[in-house]
Amino acid sequence: MLNTDISSTVDLPDTMHAIVLVEPNEQLSLSDVQVPLPTQSEQELLVKVEYVGLNPIDADLAKKGFCQWQYPHIIGFDAVGTVVKAAKGIFPNVGDRVMWHSNIGEQGVLSEYASVPNFAVSVVPDNVSGSDAATLPCAGMTALIAMKKLQISQGETIFIDAGAGAVGQFAIQFAKQLGADVFTTAAKGNHKLVKKLGADAVFDYQDKKLIEKITRELGPQGFDAVLDSIGGESTSRNIELMRFCGRIVCLKPLPYFDEKLLFKKSPNIGILSLAGAWLSNSLCAQQHMSFMSNQLLESLANKTIQTPAIKAIEFNAQAVSSALHTQINGGFTGKQIIKIA
């Protein structure tokens, strides 16, 4: 039975403002609605949401939906807010600021309040702003897991596609901290940015001679590792640029591979999906996400990582729909953050 011996810093309303997807649609059309406050189990917190970070997956799923969703569905995965209700003895405590990446199979976080398991959150340090923290969960954890799956070590070469994207920016920093030589692609206007983050060599992703120029800079040996964030034809291109038995982590579904390419390169291919921690019902994986969040927040507090530039988005359906179009159209540098409160 839920322990209701709870202190609260606010008088809680019965309903809340939320932004929902009534049904998947190509127009990324969303709606402003009033819905009841979410309920909590004994191990869940009620959090007053303050900031929500948008990700490309938000736009993708607004178009096609997800098999476990019931509609209308509250969208959004990355949130920062303050705990306003928790069972006695549960940590974090009422009043603590927390950050988390939510369960893909349940209601999202683009609402004034959200419920989240206490083991899935991380407490935000006092010297980290809520908006900066909201840039971390999806992009930061994806970059961290990618480095671990790729087993990056001192002196290796890594190719990071789309270095100016949020995942790319974090991945460049982590790869350099591990001692790798970092090659990346970016629009010409973002070359200065990714070099400041640590990239050793930057190439224009629109260059028709991209492969030739990378090969000339890299030499004949090929990359030890690749973070493939774009997918499609880029995945085969990236494998072609790898050394024999090199390692690649893909963030998109795998395309059809030419058999000769696979025999030629014998790549070690890994797939990365944060959603799997929830879909597999792995408590260990879900707790590990919290550990990674702690690592990201500690790095940010110690100023050993830099967050992407933030673009503020208003908390209404029209503004968020426009922001999702920006995400899906590409060419966007930085992180779109919605201020809820």
Which of 218, 243, 271 is the last residue in one of the domains? 271
Average pLDDT value for residue range 161-185: 97
Same-domain check for residues 151 and 264: yes
Same-domain check for residues 207 and 328: no
Same-domain check for residues 224 and 168: yes
Contacts of 161 (CB under 8 A, 6+ apart): 168, 184, 185, 205, 226, 227, 228, 229, 230, 234, 238
Q: pLDDT digit string (tens) for 184-197?
A: 999 999 999 999 99
Give the pLDDT score at 2: 42
Its pTM stands at: 0.95
Judged against a pLDDT cut of 50, whether residue 130 lies above it is answered with yes
Q: Is residue 170 part of a domain?
A: yes
Give the pLDDT score at 341: 76
Q: Is residue 280 part of a domain?
A: no
Average pLDDT value for residue range 121-146: 98
Judged against a pLDDT cut of 70, whether residue 67 lies above it is answered with yes
Same-domain check for residues 218 and 204: yes
What does the mean pLDDT of the chain come to? 95
Average pLDDT value for residue range 275-304: 94
Judged against a pLDDT cut of 70, whether residue 6 lies above it is answered with no
Give the pLDDT score at 332: 79
Judged against a pLDDT cut of 70, whether residue 4 lies above it is answered with no
Q: Is residue 188 part of a domain?
A: yes
Q: Is residue 52 part of a domain?
A: yes
Give the CA count within 13 Å in the CB-facing half-sphere of 103: 22
Find the helix or strand (DSSP H, E) in which 142 lies. helix 137-150
Q: Is residue 276 part of a domain?
A: no
Average pLDDT value for residue range 16-23: 98
Same-domain check for residues 53 and 84: yes
Judged against a pLDDT cut of 50, whether residue 109 lies above it is answered with yes
Domain of 60 in residue numbering reads as 15-135+308-339
Residue 117 token pair: 């398991």
Give the pLDDT score at 329: 87
Same-domain check for residues 86 and 164: no
Same-domain check for residues 148 and 262: yes
CATH of the domain at 85: 3.90.180.10
Residue 122 token pair: 């991380």
Query: What is d(CA 279, CA 234) in angstroms, rounded to the nearest whole number?
Result: 27
CA distances from 107 to 39, 68, 72, 184 (A): 12, 10, 9, 35
Contacts of 332 (CB under 8 A, 6+ apart): 326
Task: Kindly give the pairing relationship between strand 113-117 and strand 97-101.
Answer: unpaired
Average pLDDT value for residue range 163-175: 97
Same-domain check for residues 106 and 218: no
Q: Is residue 10 part of a domain?
A: no
Total of domains in the chain: 2
DSSP letter for 118, please.
Answer: G
Q: Which amino acid is at 211?
A: I
CATH of the domain at 204: 3.40.50.720
Same-domain check for residues 227 and 193: yes
Is residue 220 very low, low, confident or very high in pLDDT (cuts 50, 70, 90)?
Answer: confident
Same-domain check for residues 174 and 102: no
Q: Is residue 282 part of a domain?
A: no
Query: What is d(CA 96, CA 305) in angstroms, rounded to the nearest whole number?
Result: 23
Q: Is residue 237 part of a domain?
A: yes
Same-domain check for residues 144 and 260: yes
Contact in structure between 195 and 169 (CB atoms under 8 Å):
no
Average pLDDT value for residue range 48-74: 97
Same-domain check for residues 123 and 227: no
Give the pLDDT score at 170: 98
Average pLDDT value for residue range 222-242: 96
Which of 249, 271, 293 is the last residue in one of the domains? 271
